Structure 1
């Protein structure tokens, strides 16, 4: 198992081209949020923006967009029809697929809820698009109900132990007892980069290479932290980083920002939204 250290991550980061424009830094499409989990879309969107994506489009219902846009006017809006569940309606799938064709990375799942409509949306993205894909939260829970999936595109999965257990059709206790072998085996089987979010997150590559992240603390143990991480990874992926590098860099920076934040505030009081204030010095290259 290799360690994801500061020196290693610094070697992966590349400076922003001074002659670039917004089109040079990719277009992240986020399908996130529902009536109950509106904040998830906001946190994921800012994560993608703060890691340098040139454009970030949020595909969400009007209720979600009305929460996110006042805080993040940089986001492009893609209004989705709302189903009775409070999440997106399958009637909006043509707009979602059309927008997907213009994206350089797609994030699906943060705060989305598990419904027939969101399941239809995931299946449409899996079968009708080829862009690099990040699946988090309910995107993973919906994927776990499908037949074992082997990705033929760049893909990053970001499960916590419970979601990992559902993907592997085992128990959380088994995952926690065998974290390295579990995530490594699933990454090989699915042909995806897989993060198993633990105190020291494990990142497994499709070829079986395994990394352990070296940053982060218990202040991240609250709702919303994963949404920030998923957005950060998607922003990096949209910019053109490989799935492995996007996952490794995003996970390290997320934890490093949490460590810096805890030093100033505390693990008890820090919130996921606080992490963004501590990212700038980490990304100066």
Structure 2
């Protein structure tokens, strides 16, 4: 097991080429949000944009798009029909599949709602993706439900990154949270190898397991991240670095370190009780600036 460090992160993240354009840094399609959870999609979209993604298109229902457009004008919007639960209707699969053809990265899950509609969309879109796919939150819950019903973990043509907390990991594996806590490193490594994915097992010392057996442990971050929305920002950051061209394991590892390092600075400014997930993005920008990125 290796410990993540600043030198490793900025050896992976290169300065932006002067002769470049928005297409040089990928096109992220984010399928996220619902009437009940309107903030998650925006936090993830901003996390991706602040981590360098060239284009971010958010596909969601109108209440989510209205909220995001008001605070994040850089985000492109793809309106989707609303299901009876207030999430994205499974009948939007064809429209989303068409949008996916232009995307280099797909992020699914933040705030979508754990519904049959979400499961149907995850099953189809993940299977059709040609680039990197990041599954978070209800994207993970949908995958776990499909696996519990006897289906394999949905697979894209490209790389797959999963970002579970221990409860989501329990649903994905069938292990109890106590069993995961007893051997988090072994659990992460075995799952990543079995399913050929990069696994981000979130916690006090988040672990990143690559499908080739590499394992990193993160030591940045603090208890101020223990609130809703922190994981959405992280999912966006992972997706943003993947859009910039980092391989899936490095995108995940670098995002986790940066997320925690920025949060440590935020805690010094605002305190662990007073800080909010969106606050860390300003500190993230400072870290990039200090490294001429």
When normalised by structure 1's length, the TM-score is 0.98
Q: Deviations over 1:102-135 (max 9, x none)?
A: 0110100001011111111001113222221000
- Give CA deviations for 1:132-190 in whole Å, capped at 9, x if unaligned: 10000010111112234274520110000000111111111111111111111000011
Does structure 1 retain, via aligned residues, the 8 Å contact 2:143–2:154? no
**Partner residue in 2 for 1:253:** 258
Question: How far apart, CA to CA, are the structure 1 residues paired with 2:102 and 2:58?
Answer: 13
The answer to whether 1:98 aligns with 2:98 is yes
Local SS of the residue matching 2:59: strand
2:177 maps to what in 1? 172
Counterpart selection for 2:167 from 134, 139, 162: 162
Aligned equivalents of 1:240, 1:10: Cα separation in 2: 14
Q: Is the 8 A contact 1:150 1:191 kept in 2?
A: no
CA distance in 2, matches of 1:186, 1:21: 37
Distance 1:137 1:173 in 2: 20
SS at match of 1:281: helix
Aligned residue for 1:144, secondary structure, equals helix
Name the CA distance, whole Å, in 2 between partners of 1:186 and 1:209.
12
Give the alignment partner of residue 149 of structure 1, picking from 146, 153, 160.
Answer: 153
Q: Kindly indicate whether the alpha-carbon contact (under 8 Å) linking 1:148 and 1:190 is maintained by their aligned counterparts in 2.
A: no
Decide whether the 8 Å contact of 1:31 with 1:59 is kept in 2: yes
In structure 2, the partner of 1:205 is: 210
Q: Which residue of 2 aligns with 1:233?
A: 238
**In 2, distance between residues paired with 1:153 and 1:129?**
7
Q: Which 4+ runs in 1 deviate beyond 3 A? A: none
User: In structure 2, the residue corresponding to 1:279 is in which secondary structure?
Assistant: helix
Structure 2: which 5+ runs fail to align? none
1:266 partnered with 2:271: yes
Which of 191, 195, 219 is the equivalent residue of 1:190?
Answer: 195
Residue in 2 aligned with 1:21? 21
| Deviation digits for residues 34-71 of structure 1 (CA, Å, limit 9, x no counterpart) | 01111000100100110111110000000110111110
Q: Matches of 2:270 and 2:215 in 1, distance apart?
A: 32
Size of the aligned set, in residue pairs, is: 285
- Aligned partners of 2:160 and 2:198 also within 8 Å: yes
- The alpha-carbon deviation at position 191 of structure 1 amounts to 0.5
Q: Tell me, what secondary structure is at the counterpart of 1:182? A: helix
Within-5 A mapping of 1:27-66: 27-66=27-66
Determine the C-alpha separation between the residues in 2 that align with 1:142 and 1:170.
Answer: 17
Aligned position for 1:78? 78
Counterpart in the other structure of 1:222: 227
Q: Specify the SS of the correspondent of 1:230.
A: helix
Residue pair 1:213, 1:252 contacting (<8 A) in 2 also: yes
Distance 2:83 2:8 in 1: 45
Q: Aligned partners of 1:38 and 1:159: how far apart in 2?
A: 20
Contact 2:106 2:129 in 1 (8 A): no
The alignment partner of 1:214 has SS state of coil
